[in-house]
Every structure is written in C-alpha cells, then in structure tokens.
A and B are shown apart, each in its own frame.
Chain A
Amino acid sequence: MSDDELTTRVQDSGLQLAWQLFPEDVRAAVALARRQGAVLAAPFAANEEPWPPMQPGERL
C-alpha cells in the first residue's frame, strides 16, 4: 500500500494523531489486518470453492 493510500485510510478512520505519533504502529496494524483477511478469504475446506456472496436467508 502506498503512503498516499495509507494516509487516506488513516484519515477515513480518524487516526491522524496516531499516524503522527506512532506511524510504525499504524503500518503494522494495516499489514496485520490484510494478512488476516487473506486467511479468511481461503475456502473453508480443501475441496471447496471460494466463498460465494452471502445468500438470502443466510444466518450468522
């Protein structure tokens, strides 16, 4: 992610002060969030297709 993109994300989240004081913490948080997302996006089981969009009536 470029610095411009990161700055936009930070502004969207209202975290300008954290970005100013602790930029490395913010970078690490963004990276971890992306890694977690990648794990979740994998199929539930080895023989399955990736997740379809949520279906009508699907309950959480």
Chain B
Amino acid sequence: MAADAAGRTAVNPALHWCTATALGAAIAARRLSPVTLMQELLARIARLDPDHAVFVRLDAEQALAAARQAEDAAMHGRLLGPLHGIPVGVKDIIDVAGLPTTCHSKIRLDAMATRDAGAVARLRQQGAIVIGKLATHEFALGGPSFDLPFPPARNPWNQAHHPGGSSSGSGAGLAAGMFPLALGTDTAGSIRNPASCCGVVGLKPTYGAVSRRGVFPLAFTLDHVGPMARSVADVALLLDAIAGPDDEDAGSIRRPTRPASRDLGRGVRGLRIGYVRHFHEIDMPADPAVAQALDEAARLLAAEGATIVDVRLPDLNLFSAVARTILHSEAWSVHAEWLRTRPQDYARNTRQRLLVGAFIPAGDYLLAQRHRTRLIAAMQDIFRDVDVLLCASAMDPPCRIDDEQATARSYPRQARTPFNVTGHPALAMMAGLSPDGLPVAVQFAGRYNDEATLLRTASAFERAGGWQDRHPLP
C-alpha cells in the first residue's frame, strides 16, 4: 500500500486506478497527499506516454506546484471543493491560461491562452489541478493524422489501434491510468467515441449545460463540452463541477441546480428504457460483438427491474446527413480564411473535411435545420413514453490506427450524432470486449436536463456489468 511523504497510508495499492471520488475523500480526510498523488501519476505518465502520445503538453512543474498548494490548504482545513487536489487532463482545444491552445495544429502552435475557459475556471474553483493538455484530432475534426506537429494518441488496450476521437488523449489517458478525470468536447460524438474505444465513460451533457467560452469552435450549434472518467460516479462528480450558466456563451442555459449525482444508487426499477434496435440492426448493421453487448445490456437492465421497450426513431442515416451538413457549414465559417490562405498547413484529413463546407449551398444548410426541427420533435415524442434510451455508440470495435480506410469508415458508422442534432444528453460506456480484446460500448440518452436519470441508469448498468474494473494495463 502506498504512503505519502508523512508516512500516512494511502487509499489503494493502485493509486492510478482509484476513482476521483475515492481520491477526493482520501484527500479531504488527510489520508492522501495531493503531492503523493501527483508524483505517482507524473511518474506513470513519464513511463507510458512515449508509447501512447496522450499529452500535447504536460505541465508537470505547475501541476506539482499546485499539488503542494493543495496539500498545504488541506492540512489547514481549507478545501476548495470535492475536486480538491485531483488532477484533470484537458483536451487541447480548451483554453488553460498560460498554455497554448494548439488544437493539435501547426496553425495554432503559438496561440497562448491568457484566460481559462469557463469549464476550466469552474474546475479550478473546485480545487482541481490541470495536469496538461491532451491530444485531439486537428481542430477536433479529421481523424488520426501523421502529418501534424504532434503524433496521434494510441489506444492503451492495443497501441496499434485507434483510441477514437476527437478527444483521443482524454480517452487514452484515462484508460492508461494517467489521470482520473478529463475534459472533452463533442460535436459529432467526440467524447463518446474515445470513451467507447478506450473502455471508459464519456458524457455529452444537454446542449448549453456546460460553458463553451474559451473552447475553439467546430460547429457552434452542435458543440458541447463534457466530462470523461473511468466510472459513472466520477463523470457525475465532474459534470456537477463544470455545469452552470455563463453569460459569455450565447448557447448557455440556466437549469435546475440539483446535482446530477443525486440518484446514482437508486437502481433502474420503475424506469422505462427505450431500446433503439433499428439503428444497429437495420439502418447501419453493427459488428456482432456490438449487437451482442447491446442485447446483453438490455437483458441486464431488465433483470435489474427496468422495463425495456423497443422504440423507433427516424433513420439513423438521416440524422447523420443533417449533422454533417450543419457541421461542415458551420466549420467552414470558422476556417474559411485559413483554408483560403494556408490550406497546406492543415493535415490532409482535416483539409478534406473542412473544404466540404465551402460547397454546401445556403439552401441545404437551411434544409438541414428544418430536418433538425422535426428530428427534435420525433425525439421529444419518444421521451414522452420512456425515461432513457439505449442504443449503439460505435458500430464496430476500434480499428487499426494505421489503416486510413478503416479509420475513415469508422467515423460515420456510429449512432452518436443524433444527440448532437437534438441536444439531448448522451453517455457512452464500456459493455464488453471484442474477440480481439478491444472495448465495445453501449450508449444511453436522456431527457433534456435530466442527466440524473441518465447517470442513474448508467450506474446501474455499471454495477450489473462489472466492466469498469477491467483495465488494459497493470
């Protein structure tokens, strides 16, 4: 069992696999020093990151200094909040004051942030410590690219495989035990994709629940910031820390302040869960391992007391076409000037996708928004009948990262974008392993601003499935 500098015993023999919830409790009870925790994680990162490329920028010196301050404050009974002394990784499209926000791009190598993003500011107010900036796809788009200033992150379950994206470093670093919490962003599934590929938990909150101030935009009506962790309880903990209104984000919403974590232990008895089979059985047939994991999830939740009902939404391919048209149009509005003047400075993947927006007529963008209105109405109709939806996240297990065709094929083969189009909260989590030993996942979605019931369901599935204790590394 590990001990801190003062000889006090720590909370677990494998500190790097502890949940943030447990670490926070141990720090609050003075059983664990934030310095001990930080030193152990930094040593682990030094050992593992050369093979995983999780960090674009590790801020070890500042992180250790912050841990010393946190220890001193804890010793004097001045805890800032439930995240006091907890290291958090931040995707590198989110501003952290004093560090560049490179967006993993040559174009922004020197773009120094002078102010924390809204979500980062809230994290720090709760006592969390930013450990560094994490790998992404360039500008949170494209895919794993080898023609950028930083290498793409690797999947800890098998380093030859894609960790998902675009919050790649967030997912890979959590799965490798480098930090217990991470921030990601999700415009077309970019939190839930790496959560699925890396076997962790990722939540895209209700649109507007978490501030996007200080986050480099991809598509402003689809962009979300959200929490990632290795357990549902930790995702709830992080969401409660970062959610809240922000007058500097025009999409920010005011909503009830009840904690998202309030119902985690209630189980699913009495809940109606709509199972969207047609997404992965008809619209976009899934790999058998994914289909099997979904059926097993439905069976487990029924055994826990939920009522499972088959439900039908519009065709998944329509959701995808609407999402792509909106994303490409809005992303073009962000990148037009750079695409005109320095197209050679983008990775090929990113450039190819961003250029699409230049050729989408305004009429098609409007038509996509009209479709969106009706898709939202269809989703709202479903949520009058059920409390939570169960559906696929990725249709396939993670592919090899060096197989360009396979990675390109993997991005549209997913059922995450429907919830970016409608803005409903959605969570992806591990639900099994493929025959090759790679994670497969399921997705749950909830009503607007009802992350509590969504997390309650995910927590019940986590307990029943038991996958959260499986790790790819010692």
Contact = CB atoms under 8 A, between A and B. Distances in A.
B361 A37 contact: yes
Contact of A18 (B321, B351, B364, B372): B351
A51 B321 CA distance: 16
A22 B339 CA distance: 11
Interface in B158-185: none
User: How big is chain B's contact interface, by range?
Assistant: 20 to 34
A58 B314 CA distance: 21
B360 A36 contact: yes
A20 B318 CA distance: 34
A26 to B, nearest CB: 6
A44 B321 contact: no
Interface stretch (B30-38, B46-54, B84-92, B322-330): B322-330
User: How big is chain A's contact interface, by range?
Assistant: 20 to 34
A60 B358 contact: no
B406 interface: no
A20 to B, nearest CB: 9
A11 B36 CA distance: 59
Given A15-B339, A17-B343, A28-B352, A44 B374 contact: yes
Interface string A41-57: 10011000001001000
A36 B326 CA distance: 10
B343 A14 contact: no
B351 A40 contact: no
Contacts of A36: 321, 324-325, 328, 356, 360, 364
A37 B366 contact: no
Interface string B350-368: 0110011111110010111
Nearest to B360: A33
A59 B358 contact: no
A2 to B, nearest CB: 15
A60 B369 contact: yes
A37 B352 contact: no
Nearest to A6: B359
Contact of A37 (B318, B340, B360): B360
A45 B318 CA distance: 10
B371 A44 contact: yes
A18 B343 contact: yes
B343 A22 contact: yes
Contacts of B352: 25, 28-29
B381 to A, nearest CB: 13
B373 A59 contact: yes
A24 B358 CA distance: 15
A16 to B, nearest CB: 8
B336 interface: yes
A32 B428 CA distance: 29
B251 to A, nearest CB: 15
Nearest to B332: A13
A6 to B, nearest CB: 10
Contact of B370 (A14, A30, A34, A51): A51
A19 to B, nearest CB: 9
Closest 8 CB pairs of A and B: A29-B355, A33-B359, A39-B321, A18-B343, A60-B369, A13-B358, A29-B356, A37-B364
Given A25-B351, A36-B364, A59-B373, 19 more contacts: A13-B340, A13-B359, A14-B336, A14-B340, A15-B339, A15-B355, A22-B344, A22-B351, A25-B348, A26-B355, A29-B359, A32-B356, A33-B357, A37-B360, A37-B361, A40-B321, A40-B364, A45-B314, A60-B372
23 contacts: A9-B359, A13-B359, A14-B336, A17-B343, A18-B340, A18-B343, A22-B344, A22-B348, A29-B352, A30-B359, A33-B364, A34-B359, A36-B360, A37-B361, A37-B367, A39-B318, A39-B321, A41-B367, A44-B371, A54-B366, A60-B369, A60-B370, A60-B373
